[in-house]
Amino acid sequence: MATTTAKLQFNAPEFTGGSNFVVSSTLFKAGTSTGIDQFTGIARVYKAAATADIEIVAAADYADNKAHKLYVRNTSTTADDTYLLVEVGSNEPIGRLYPEDWMFIPVDGTENIKVTTSDPTMSFEWGLFHEG
């Protein structure tokens, strides 16, 4: 598999001193210079009703102490007060993703990760780069 790089770029001169702010990271396996070689692909989920505790990452499916990386995006274009609640473990909130918000975070493989949609007709997408 080719080396995977995640890149984040802000074009917000009022916050970044008049210039773009860019960071990038190559996705390596834990403690190595070998690239992560597994990916779930991007799954798009549509819900016709507000739905709680949709499990997207089951800890039992992935080794712990590895360099897993999770991407989640609220693809909804509904009203601004709708959100996708992302939780880890026993309903410990990570945060809320409002329409078009996204996150890219490390996952340690010891806790399940779930999402809850706050409103009907919401959609989201997710994918996990992982070591197995």
Cα dihedral 73/79/80/81 (nearest 10):
-100
What pLDDT, in 10s, does the model give residues 102-120? 999 999 889 999 999 998 8
Please choose, from the candidates 121, 36, 99, 31, the residue with its C-alpha nearest in 3D space to the C-alpha of residue 70: 36
Query: What pLDDT is recorded for position 92?
Result: 93
Average pLDDT, the chain: 89
Residue bearing the bigger pLDDT, 61 or 15: 61
The tokens of 126 are what? 């997710």
Mean per-residue pLDDT for 66-75? 94
Distances (CA, A) of 96 to 26, 102, 116: 26, 9, 9
What are the strands of the beta sheet with 113-117, ordered from one edge? 54-57, 113-117, 84-88, 92-97
Query: What pLDDT is recorded for position 132?
Result: 81
Q: What are phi and psi of 44, to 5 degrees?
A: -105, 130
> Would you place residue 42 in the very low, low, confident or very high pLDDT band (cuts 50, 70, 90)?
very high
pTM score: 0.89
Domains and CATH numbers, the chain: 37-130 (2.60.120.10)
Residue bearing the bigger pLDDT, 11 or 84: 84
